[in-house]
Protein backbone atom coordinates (compact mmCIF):
# COMPACT_ATOMS: atom_id res chain seq x y z
CA UNK A 1 0.00 0.00 0.00
CA UNK A 2 1.29 3.46 -0.89
CA UNK A 3 2.09 5.70 2.06
CA UNK A 4 -0.30 8.66 2.39
CA UNK A 5 0.87 12.06 1.21
CA UNK A 6 0.06 14.58 3.98
CA UNK A 7 0.41 17.48 1.55
CA UNK A 8 -2.83 16.35 -0.09
CA UNK A 9 -4.86 16.10 3.13
CA UNK A 10 -7.78 18.57 3.19
CA UNK A 11 -7.83 18.99 7.00
CA UNK A 12 -4.62 19.28 9.04
CA UNK A 13 -5.67 21.33 12.09
CA UNK A 14 -4.23 18.68 14.42
CA UNK A 15 -0.67 19.54 13.40
CA UNK A 16 -0.81 22.71 15.51
CA UNK A 17 -2.43 21.03 18.52
CA UNK A 18 0.38 18.44 18.56
CA UNK A 19 3.07 21.08 19.15
CA UNK A 20 4.90 22.01 22.34
CA UNK A 21 3.65 25.56 21.88
CA UNK A 22 0.03 24.39 22.08
CA UNK A 23 0.82 22.19 25.09
CA UNK A 24 2.01 25.33 26.85
CA UNK A 25 -1.62 26.45 27.10
CA UNK A 26 -2.08 23.68 29.66
CA UNK A 27 1.12 24.26 31.58
CA UNK A 28 1.11 25.07 35.28
CA UNK A 29 -1.38 24.14 37.99
CA UNK A 30 -4.41 25.69 36.29
CA UNK A 31 -3.65 23.91 33.05
CA UNK A 32 -3.28 20.59 34.82
CA UNK A 33 -6.57 21.17 36.64
CA UNK A 34 -8.36 21.85 33.35
CA UNK A 35 -6.96 18.63 31.91
CA UNK A 36 -8.16 16.78 35.01
CA UNK A 37 -11.68 18.11 34.44
CA UNK A 38 -11.49 17.08 30.79
CA UNK A 39 -10.32 13.57 31.77
CA UNK A 40 -13.12 13.25 34.33
CA UNK A 41 -15.76 14.07 31.72
CA UNK A 42 -14.11 11.76 29.20
CA UNK A 43 -14.27 8.89 31.68
CA UNK A 44 -17.99 9.58 32.09
CA UNK A 45 -18.39 9.33 28.32
CA UNK A 46 -16.70 5.91 28.38
CA UNK A 47 -18.72 4.47 31.27
CA UNK A 48 -20.11 0.99 30.75
CA UNK A 49 -17.48 0.00 28.21
CA UNK A 50 -15.12 -2.90 28.84
CA UNK A 51 -12.13 -1.89 26.80
CA UNK A 52 -11.52 -2.92 23.21
CA UNK A 53 -9.91 -1.08 20.31
CA UNK A 54 -9.75 2.70 20.19
CA UNK A 55 -8.68 5.24 17.60
CA UNK A 56 -7.63 8.67 18.89
CA UNK A 57 -8.11 10.83 15.80
CA UNK A 58 -5.80 13.84 15.75
CA UNK A 59 -4.64 12.89 19.24
CA UNK A 60 -1.04 14.05 18.93
CA UNK A 61 -1.71 16.58 21.70
CA UNK A 62 -1.39 13.62 24.09
CA UNK A 63 -4.29 14.71 26.30
CA UNK A 64 -6.54 11.68 25.84
CA UNK A 65 -4.46 8.64 24.92
CA UNK A 66 -3.52 7.73 28.49
CA UNK A 67 -7.12 8.04 29.68
CA UNK A 68 -8.18 5.57 27.01
CA UNK A 69 -5.39 3.18 27.99
CA UNK A 70 -6.32 3.42 31.67
CA UNK A 71 -9.87 2.43 30.72
CA UNK A 72 -8.56 -0.75 29.10
CA UNK A 73 -8.45 0.24 25.44
CA UNK A 74 -5.75 -0.65 22.94
CA UNK A 75 -5.16 2.76 21.37
CA UNK A 76 -3.84 3.93 18.02
CA UNK A 77 -3.32 7.67 17.47
CA UNK A 78 -3.63 9.35 14.08
CA UNK A 79 -1.99 12.54 12.91
CA UNK A 80 -1.92 14.58 9.71
CA UNK A 81 1.90 14.49 9.67
CA UNK A 82 4.72 12.47 11.19
CA UNK A 83 5.51 15.45 13.43
CA UNK A 84 2.21 14.86 15.27
CA UNK A 85 3.71 11.94 17.18
CA UNK A 86 6.27 14.23 18.86
CA UNK A 87 4.45 14.48 22.21
CA UNK A 88 3.40 10.82 22.43
CA UNK A 89 5.31 8.05 24.24
CA UNK A 90 7.77 6.35 21.87
CA UNK A 91 5.88 3.06 22.03
CA UNK A 92 2.46 4.55 21.15
CA UNK A 93 0.99 3.09 17.94
CA UNK A 94 0.69 5.99 15.50
CA UNK A 95 -0.29 6.39 11.86
CA UNK A 96 -0.33 9.33 9.46
CA UNK A 97 -3.82 9.55 7.97
CA UNK A 98 -6.32 11.70 6.13
CA UNK A 99 -8.96 12.29 8.79
CA UNK A 100 -11.72 12.55 6.21
CA UNK A 101 -10.78 9.14 4.77
CA UNK A 102 -9.51 7.03 7.63
CA UNK A 103 -7.87 3.72 6.62
CA UNK A 104 -10.29 1.44 8.49
CA UNK A 105 -13.24 -0.71 7.52
CA UNK A 106 -16.77 0.12 8.67
CA UNK A 107 -17.23 -0.42 12.43
CA UNK A 108 -13.62 -1.58 12.79
CA UNK A 109 -12.98 0.10 16.16
CA UNK A 110 -14.83 -0.23 19.45
CA UNK A 111 -14.58 3.49 20.15
CA UNK A 112 -13.38 6.46 18.10
CA UNK A 113 -12.34 9.64 19.87
CA UNK A 114 -11.37 13.07 18.58
CA UNK A 115 -10.56 16.05 20.80
CA UNK A 116 -9.32 19.49 19.73
CA UNK A 117 -10.15 18.81 16.07
CA UNK A 118 -13.84 19.42 15.34
CA UNK A 119 -13.91 23.21 16.04
CA UNK A 120 -10.90 23.77 13.75
CA UNK A 121 -12.11 21.51 10.94
CA UNK A 122 -13.77 23.47 8.11
CA UNK A 123 -15.19 20.24 6.68
CA UNK A 124 -16.61 19.00 9.95
CA UNK A 125 -19.86 17.78 8.27
CA UNK A 126 -17.62 15.21 6.55
CA UNK A 127 -15.53 14.45 9.64
CA UNK A 128 -18.46 13.36 11.84
CA UNK A 129 -19.78 10.70 9.42
CA UNK A 130 -16.25 9.36 8.97
CA UNK A 131 -15.74 9.00 12.72
CA UNK A 132 -19.12 7.28 12.97
CA UNK A 133 -18.42 4.99 10.02
CA UNK A 134 -15.49 3.24 11.69
CA UNK A 135 -16.90 3.17 15.25
CA UNK A 136 -18.71 0.02 16.30
CA UNK A 137 -20.06 1.21 19.67
CA UNK A 138 -19.22 4.80 20.51
CA UNK A 139 -17.75 8.08 19.28
CA UNK A 140 -16.50 10.74 21.70
CA UNK A 141 -15.67 14.28 20.58
CA UNK A 142 -15.40 17.70 22.17
CA UNK A 143 -16.79 20.99 20.89
CA UNK A 144 -17.27 24.61 22.07
CA UNK A 145 -20.96 25.41 22.50
CA UNK A 146 -22.88 28.44 21.27
CA UNK A 147 -25.16 28.09 24.31
CA UNK A 148 -22.44 29.40 26.63
CA UNK A 149 -20.39 32.50 27.31
CA UNK A 150 -18.70 31.63 24.02
CA UNK A 151 -21.55 33.46 22.26
CA UNK A 152 -19.50 36.63 22.71
CA UNK A 153 -16.33 34.88 21.51
CA UNK A 154 -15.83 37.30 18.59
CA UNK A 155 -15.86 40.26 20.94
CA UNK A 156 -13.50 38.58 23.38
CA UNK A 157 -11.13 37.11 20.81
CA UNK A 158 -8.69 40.06 20.79
CA UNK A 159 -8.51 40.01 24.60
CA UNK A 160 -8.16 36.22 24.60
CA UNK A 161 -5.37 36.31 22.02
CA UNK A 162 -3.62 39.07 23.92
CA UNK A 163 -3.40 36.81 26.95
CA UNK A 164 -3.00 33.36 25.40
CA UNK A 165 -0.88 34.57 22.41
CA UNK A 166 -1.32 31.31 20.45
CA UNK A 167 -5.11 31.05 20.40
CA UNK A 168 -6.82 30.72 17.01
CA UNK A 169 -10.35 31.16 15.67
CA UNK A 170 -12.70 28.23 16.14
CA UNK A 171 -16.21 27.21 15.19
CA UNK A 172 -18.98 27.33 17.80
CA UNK A 173 -21.65 24.66 17.53
CA UNK A 174 -25.23 24.53 18.72
CA UNK A 175 -26.15 21.40 20.63
CA UNK A 176 -28.89 20.81 18.08
CA UNK A 177 -26.65 20.78 15.00
CA UNK A 178 -24.18 18.41 16.64
CA UNK A 179 -26.96 16.14 17.88
CA UNK A 180 -28.59 16.03 14.46
CA UNK A 181 -25.27 15.29 12.75
CA UNK A 182 -24.77 12.22 14.93
CA UNK A 183 -28.39 11.12 14.83
CA UNK A 184 -28.17 11.09 11.03
CA UNK A 185 -25.46 8.42 11.42
CA UNK A 186 -27.52 6.27 13.79
CA UNK A 187 -26.11 7.53 17.09
CA UNK A 188 -27.73 9.00 20.20
CA UNK A 189 -25.83 11.60 22.19
CA UNK A 190 -25.19 12.59 25.80
CA UNK A 191 -23.52 15.87 26.76
CA UNK A 192 -20.81 16.17 29.42
CA UNK A 193 -19.97 19.91 29.67
CA UNK A 194 -16.68 20.84 31.31
CA UNK A 195 -16.75 24.47 32.51
CA UNK A 196 -19.34 27.17 33.07
CA UNK A 197 -16.78 29.99 33.05
CA UNK A 198 -14.50 30.47 30.02
CA UNK A 199 -11.22 28.56 30.08
CA UNK A 200 -9.28 31.77 29.45
CA UNK A 201 -10.57 33.09 32.81
CA UNK A 202 -9.13 30.06 34.60
CA UNK A 203 -5.83 30.54 32.78
CA UNK A 204 -5.75 34.17 33.86
CA UNK A 205 -6.56 33.30 37.50
CA UNK A 206 -3.73 30.74 37.74
CA UNK A 207 -5.43 29.45 40.87
CA UNK A 208 -7.11 26.01 40.66
CA UNK A 209 -8.65 26.38 44.11
CA UNK A 210 -10.36 29.63 43.09
CA UNK A 211 -11.42 28.09 39.78
CA UNK A 212 -13.01 25.15 41.60
CA UNK A 213 -14.80 27.60 43.90
CA UNK A 214 -16.21 29.49 40.90
CA UNK A 215 -17.26 26.36 39.03
CA UNK A 216 -18.86 24.45 41.91
CA UNK A 217 -22.07 26.52 42.34
CA UNK A 218 -22.72 26.53 38.58
CA UNK A 219 -22.39 22.75 38.40
CA UNK A 220 -24.54 22.25 41.50
CA UNK A 221 -27.27 24.55 40.12
CA UNK A 222 -27.28 22.82 36.74
CA UNK A 223 -25.91 25.86 34.92
CA UNK A 224 -22.86 23.97 33.70
CA UNK A 225 -25.07 21.39 32.02
CA UNK A 226 -27.15 24.10 30.36
CA UNK A 227 -24.42 26.55 29.43
CA UNK A 228 -21.09 24.74 29.92
CA UNK A 229 -18.32 24.52 27.34
CA UNK A 230 -16.37 22.79 25.92
CA UNK A 231 -18.70 19.81 25.78
CA UNK A 232 -17.46 16.23 25.82
CA UNK A 233 -20.02 14.49 23.63
CA UNK A 234 -20.75 10.79 24.06
CA UNK A 235 -22.38 9.29 20.96
CA UNK A 236 -23.67 5.70 21.14
CA UNK A 237 -24.61 3.65 18.11
CA UNK A 238 -28.24 2.61 18.38
CA UNK A 239 -28.68 0.66 15.14
CA UNK A 240 -27.79 -3.06 14.97
Query: What whole-number distance in Å separates Cα of residue 21 and Cα of residue 39?
Result: 21
Q: Is 125 helix (H, G, I), strand (E, B) or coil?
A: helix
For 9-142+170-194+231-237, CATH number out of 3.90.1150.10, 3.10.180.10, 3.40.50.150, 3.10.20.30 equals: 3.40.50.150
pLDDT digits (tens, 9 = 90+) for 61-90: 999 999 999 999 999 999 999 999 999 999
Domain ranges of the chain: 9-142+170-194+231-237
Give yes or no for residue 11 having a pLDDT over 70.
Answer: yes
Asked if residues 225 and 35 have their Cβ atoms less than 8 Å apart, the reply is no
Full-model pTM = 0.91
Neighbours of 209 (CB within 10 A): 10
Give yes or no for residue 238 having a pLDDT over 50.
Answer: yes
| Tally of CA atoms within 13 A in the half-sphere of 8 that contains its CB | 5
Mean pLDDT throughout 201-207?
Answer: 91
Give yes or no for residue 214 having a pLDDT over 70.
Answer: yes
Give yes or no for residue 38 having a pLDDT over 90.
Answer: yes
Across the chain, mean pLDDT equals: 91
Buried b (16+ CB within 10 A) or exposed e, 168-207: eebebbebeebbebbeebebebebbbbbbbbbbebbeeee
Q: Is the dihedral of CA 155, 156, 157, 162 positive or negative?
A: positive
Concatenated DSSP letters for 143-170? E-BSSSGGGGHHHHHHHHHHHHSS----
Query: What whole-number distance in Å separates Cα of residue 193 and Cα of residue 229?
Result: 5
Give yes or no for residue 159 having a pLDDT over 90.
Answer: no
Q: Is 139 helix (H, G, I), strand (E, B) or coil?
A: strand
Amino acid sequence: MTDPDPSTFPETADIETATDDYAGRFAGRSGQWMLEVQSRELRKALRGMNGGSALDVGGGHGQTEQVLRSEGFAVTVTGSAESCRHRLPPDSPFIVADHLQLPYADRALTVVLSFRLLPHCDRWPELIPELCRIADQRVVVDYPAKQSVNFIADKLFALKKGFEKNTRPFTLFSHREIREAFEAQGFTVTRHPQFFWPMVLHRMLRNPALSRFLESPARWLGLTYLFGSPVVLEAKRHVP
